[in-house]
A = this chain, B = another copy of it.
Amino acid sequence: MDEKFTVKIFDIMEGRPEAVMNNSDLMTLGIYPLDRIRISMNGNNVIAIVKSSIEFIESGFIGVSPEVIKILPLKNGDIVSVTISEKPQSVSIIKKKMDKQQLTEENFISIINDIKSNNLSSVELSAFVSSLYINGMNMEEIKFLATQMAKSGEILNLKNKPIFDKHSLGGVPGNKISLLIVPIIAAAGLTIPKTSSRAITSACGTADIMEVLAPVTFDAKQIEKIVNEVGGIITWGGGANLAPVDDYLIQIEHNLSLNPRSLAIASIMAKKLAVGANFLVMDLPMGIGTKIPDHEEAKKFARDFIQIGEILKIEVECVITYGDKPIGRAVGPALEAKEALKALETGEGPSSLIEKVTEIAGIILEAGGVVIRGKGKELALEYLKNGKAHKKMLEIISAQGGNPSIISDSIQYGKFSKLIKSNSEGYCTHIDNNSITQIVRTAGSPKDKGAGLYLHVSKGMKIVKDQPLYEIYSNSEDKLEQSVIC
């Protein structure tokens, strides 16, 4: 089982030690593609995932990736031994979950360590995500997983505690509410380090929108500095090293179009532990096109988040919101940044936006003791109207390295546009989230920050023939054309 092979270095970076061997060599060694092999020379060795090749590598040779060489400094032409290697312990822990047994804290420590060190192959990660989807996790397991995920990366240590946070479960286009909530909360003297994502399948993420106004990529130290200075930040979560293990699992979830409920809860809570949150408002958008189909499921989610919050010592309040239509009228990075900034400048905006923002900000203001129970929403609206939230937003933009004298009217969006009018008359009974997302992505979002859609109608409105329904924007004429036929 121990055979000699000549080294060939190949330059494909997959993030983990990998090797390529000829199909026939693998067969005679009794090794399967994607098995782990131990590559040894002079008493030193490295474990790599092996792939099979018919033409690229001749029999007798072994191709190794740069990750292999970082551990075992090999040169082209070196002779190494190859034997099959044991699987990491995590593989048997994944099997344990498949066998419907409860995983222990030690089990999660093993798995998270192996994921972090890139020791698990995508085949094994897929089996883990599949088993979590099928067999789920109980609250204790979710606690262990969230805690270990958080420990796998940086944990923010902010000066002014308690730490407030908000999180939307997603699925609703135009949901730029964080750009208004964060300055309101920070203006009230509370601390809110908002990490957000870029678009995955949505039209654009909060990070994509904020990036129109200021840089959003910061490491943990920079985040701490900015938040300590101005009380708030709107940063891209993927830039800091917060619960980084989550990203490996999200990739596999995405590949499989699976979103195991228990894993989703653990992921969100891991990120909240990483920012040191003490109080969290969970926005649970419900309705067609969201992740929550009905009230039953929304209440179940709410119960679970509150319960896991108690276990992790994060106070969680849940808001079930109607998510079956876009928030505000603008969808797309520049259009949303413009709509958010304009609302901060004027204290006014589409009611769906202002309602949701003041509702959630109000809960945080009350929890922070800034105002008595029942008066939070009012105060949030006041901060919007009296310009304090706007002033704070400009401070945040400045602290993040953006232009502190930016005005909403100066924000550029797509050069090309197309106004879509009604070809009949009637009532607007439904605005479809998925269609809007598809149009905006086809128009070039999130890469083209100017790509987007502006709604001229809202749900329930009477429509006459030739009335403008919505306008699509893009910096590419081609893409604009494609998006029109979506």
Q: How many copies does the complex hold?
A: 2
A254 on interface, CB distance cutoff 8 Å: yes
A294 to chain B, nearest CB (A): 18
A373 on interface, CB distance cutoff 8 Å: no
Q: Which of B30, B122, B201 contacts A199 (CB 8 A)?
A: B30
A134 on interface, CB distance cutoff 8 Å: yes
Alpha-carbon separation in the docked complex, A446 to B34 (Å)? 20
B447 x A29 contact (CB < 8 A)? yes
B66 x A55 contact (CB < 8 A)? yes
Interface flags for A122-150 (1: CB within 8 Å of B; 0: not) read: 11111101110111000000000000000
Q: Which residue of B lies closest to A256 (CB)?
A: B127
A79 to chain B, nearest CB (A): 14
* B residues less than 8 Å from A27 (CB atoms): 198
Alpha-carbon separation in the docked complex, A275 to B482 (Å)? 52
Alpha-carbon separation in the docked complex, A39 to B35 (Å)? 30
A53 on interface, CB distance cutoff 8 Å: yes
Q: A10-18, A167-175, A375-383: which lies at the B interface?
A: A10-18
Alpha-carbon separation in the docked complex, A129 to B442 (Å)? 35
A479 on interface, CB distance cutoff 8 Å: yes
A95 x B447 contact (CB < 8 A)? no
Q: Which of B13, B124, B447 contacts A28 (CB 8 A)?
A: B447
Q: Which of B51, B98, B258 contacts A14 (CB 8 A)?
A: B51
B123 x A30 contact (CB < 8 A)? no
A75 to chain B, nearest CB (A): 19
Contacts of A202-218 to chain B: CB distance below 8 A: none
User: Assuming A32-B255, A447-B3, is B126 touching A127 (CB within 8 A)?
Assistant: yes
Q: Which of B28, B29, B95 contacts A257 (CB 8 A)?
A: B95
Q: Which residue of B lies closest to A443 (CB)?
A: B1
A20 x B12 contact (CB < 8 A)? yes
Interface flags for A74-104 (1: CB within 8 Å of B; 0: not) read: 0000000000000100011011001010000
A196 to chain B, nearest CB (A): 15
Alpha-carbon separation in the docked complex, A199 to B27 (Å)? 9
A33 on interface, CB distance cutoff 8 Å: yes
A444 on interface, CB distance cutoff 8 Å: yes
Contacts of A1-25 to chain B: CB distance below 8 A: 1-3, 10-15, 20
B200 x A30 contact (CB < 8 A)? yes
User: Assuming A30-B199, A30-B441, is B127 touching A53 (CB within 8 A)?
Assistant: no
B134 x A1 contact (CB < 8 A)? no
Contacts of A426-475 to chain B: CB distance below 8 A: 441-442, 444, 446-447
A121 on interface, CB distance cutoff 8 Å: yes
A124 x B13 contact (CB < 8 A)? no
A136 to chain B, nearest CB (A): 11
A252 on interface, CB distance cutoff 8 Å: yes
* B residues less than 8 Å from A15 (CB atoms): 52
Alpha-carbon separation in the docked complex, A91 to B126 (Å)? 13
Q: Which residue of B lies closest to A100 (CB)?
A: B134
* B residues less than 8 Å from A11 (CB atoms): 55-56
Apart from the given pairs A123-B125, A126-B127, A127-B127, 5 other A-B contacts in the complex at a CB distance below 8 Å:
A10-B12, A12-B51, A122-B123, A123-B126, A134-B134
5 shortest interchain CB distances as A-B pairs: A126-B126, A130-B130, A123-B126, A28-B447, A127-B130
Q: List 29 A-B contacts (CB under 8 A).
A: A1-B441, A3-B447, A11-B56, A12-B20, A12-B56, A13-B53, A14-B53, A27-B198, A28-B446, A28-B447, A30-B441, A32-B254, A33-B251, A35-B254, A91-B257, A98-B130, A121-B255, A122-B123, A123-B125, A123-B126, A123-B252, A123-B256, A124-B256, A126-B126, A127-B127, A127-B256, A130-B131, A130-B134, A134-B135
